[in-house]
Amino acid sequence: MLESLWKLVQESGFAMMLSGDGWKNLIMIIIACVLLYLGIKKQYEPLLMVGIAVGCLLANVSALGGFSNALYHQELWDEFLKEGGEHAHSYGYIMANGGLIDILYMGVKAGIYPCLIFIGIGAMTDFGPLISNPKSLLLGAAAQFGVFFAFFGATLLGFNGNEAASIGIIGGADGPTAILTTTKLAPHLLGPIAVAAYSYMALIPMIQPPIMKALTTEKERKVKMEQLREVSKTEKILFPIVVTIFVVLLLPSTAPLIGCLMFGNLLKETGVTDRLSDVAQNALMNIVTLFLGMSVGATMVGSNFLELKTIYIVVLGLIAFSFSTIGGLLVGKLMYKLSGGKINPLIGSAGVSAVPMAARVSQREGQKANPSNFLLMHAMGPNVAGVIGSAIAAGFLMSMFGG
Amino acid sequence: MTETTAAIKGEMLDVGTSLLDAVLGYLVVFIGLALLMVVIIVVGKIMVSKMKKPAAAPVAAPVPAAAAPTPKKMLPAAPGAAGEVKIYDTDPRDAAIIMAIVADKLQKPLNELRFVSIKEVK
């Protein structure tokens, strides 16, 4: 009886925690609890943060219970990625030996979830402000500055090209794009990059305002912009078709993201696929968000996550976000000058894509300077342009470093 | 493009190559979106000119005024109203509250403001 009890104690996760690398899992469990706190109490991107935190918690708790009990098996994925190995790129091997999260993670690995989320984002996005003011696209492009600045910074810190590209894309302020790029280029960094991307997206109301105030004058912030022209239904239907054809022909590697984003938008705008649009916006989006959060969180196992690289990624992510904001604001200022003071440069910071958070920040800062200022719809143009811009940036990086 | 960069999977990049890749990437994004802007402007111009044509046609056509039914949007607005507002995905009650708040913030009477549309930003 005593022997049985002793065996039970030895096999428990508590005993494993104190042996070997168990302490790393313990730290990750604490980090998961912190992420849960941030998601639930502080409401930092809760829809994904809670899923990521639970995925992290389950992966590390179950890892302490031994290989057969684990929900996520890093070892299986190491074999999956081992070029020339017996189980290289074998999803069958994962299906036969994996746990729940391994099965869910196949959707991330195959790049399916980010694309499905983009269908949902497309179905929820109104490109009207962008169509009525196409110059917004320049602000969306300018706000990708942080992507390439952080890419350069990451190479200086010793990351290789694939890793630097994945870190840089955090500056696109687009979670699914960051996840897809990282999955393709540097899957071992997926956990820290996803957490950094979503954390900074949630922190936009804190990161952007000081930069906006530093780079703009009171006079510039007070500018009231002219009302946007009305966009016809035909234009809204043509937009996703034109963008898909043009952008994908220009940069074929953007096809998964741009194609899905515009497909979702077409469902919304046609007016004859309301049921599909509804599914894309709600049911599909929610299901995929659930799977994506859990499976990305599960990659945050102690042995992978607790490295100096993680700290670098967190710092570079912040730099990427800040410099994307700076890029957007500087081109916004240029447009203010060229338009004779008709464009409020604050809408430039909304080019960082995080929809609609960044546009709301522009609106709030504009209204602080001038209470009768309504910049929201003007800022939505660069904001949705940023989604296209970050997808193009990701497409460029994937075509350069994807092999 | 691939010849000018060391874009080999997982390879370390030297400072010059990395800087070149970064500048090239930023340019590609900028040029891509600038070209897209031109395409959207052209499509927009075509659409706007097409929308104007049917609007001008009834003016030129000699249609007897008595025989023509009055279109709904030509009806005079209610006293004190300032045009129609299009409401998308928004409860009319919420829209009314929003308009009242805007009028209050601007300290202007509601009938002096013109709301074009109200849409929930999701």
B37 has a chain A CB within 8 A of its CB: yes
Residue from A131, A136, A145, A155 whose CB has the most chain B CBs within 10 Å, to mutate: A155
What is the band of A261 on the pLDDT scale with cuts at 50, 70, 90?
very high
User: In this predicted model, what pLDDT tens digit does every residue of A141-181 receive, in sequence order?
Assistant: 999 999 999 999 999 999 999 999 999 999 988 889 999 99
Q: How far is it, in rounded angstroms, from Cα A308 to Cα A157?
A: 11
Average pLDDT over residues A319-341: 94
User: In this predicted model, what pLDDT tens digit does every residue of B8-53 receive, in sequence order?
Assistant: 457 888 999 999 999 999 999 999 999 999 999 998 888 888 877 7
Q: What is the predicted pLDDT for the residue at A72?
A: 83
Q: What is the predicted pLDDT for the residue at B68?
A: 47
Residue A326 has pLDDT above 60, yes or no: yes
User: In this predicted model, what pLDDT tens digit does every residue of A14-44 receive, in sequence order?
Assistant: 777 777 778 888 898 999 999 999 889 988 8
Q: What is the predicted pLDDT for the residue at A80?
A: 87
Nearest to B26 among A145, A401, A402 (CB): A145
User: In this predicted model, what pLDDT tens digit does every residue of A63-110 receive, in sequence order?
Assistant: 776 656 678 888 888 888 887 888 888 999 999 988 888 999 999 888
Nearest CA in chain B to A359: B121
Q: How far is it, in rounded angstroms, from Cα A228 to Cα A239?
A: 17
User: In this predicted model, what pLDDT tens digit does every residue of A180-216 receive, in sequence order?
Assistant: 999 989 988 988 898 888 888 888 888 999 999 999 9
Nearest to B33 among A137, A359, A402 (CB): A137
ipTM: 0.84
What is the band of A350 on the pLDDT scale with cuts at 50, 70, 90?
very high
| Residue A85 CB neighbour total at 10 angstroms | 13
Q: Are A70 and A59 in contact (CB under 8 A)?
A: yes
Residue from A83, A149, A160 whose CB has the most chain B CBs within 10 Å, to mutate: A160
**pTM to 2 decimals?**
0.78
What's the 3-state SS for B48-113? HHHHHHHHHHHHHCCCCCCCCCCCHHHCCCCCCCCCCCEEECCCHHHHHHHHHHHHHHHCCCHHHC
Q: Which residues of A touch B33 (CB under 8 A)?
A: 137-138, 140-141, 385, 388-389, 392
DSSP symbols for A127-153: -HHHHH-TTHHHHHHHTTHHHHHHHHH
Strands, E assignment, A55-146: none
Q: How far is it, in rounded angstroms, from Cα A247 to Cα B35?
A: 9
Nearest to B106 among A135, A156, A372 (CB): A372
| Cα B63 from chain centre | 34
Residue from B21, B35, B45, B102 whose CB has the most chain A CBs within 10 Å, to mutate: B21
B3 has a chain A CB within 8 A of its CB: no
Average pLDDT over chain B, rounded to whole? 73
B28 has a chain A CB within 8 A of its CB: yes
Q: How far is it, in rounded angstroms, from Cα B72 to Cα A229?
A: 22
Q: How far is it, in rounded angstroms, from Cα A289 to Cα A283?
A: 10
Nearest to B29 among A144, A230, A359 (CB): A144
Instruction: Say what angle helices A145-156 and A161-168 make with each other, to 10 degrees.
Output: 140
User: In this predicted model, what pLDDT tens digit does every residue of A368-382 receive, in sequence order?
Assistant: 999 988 899 999 999
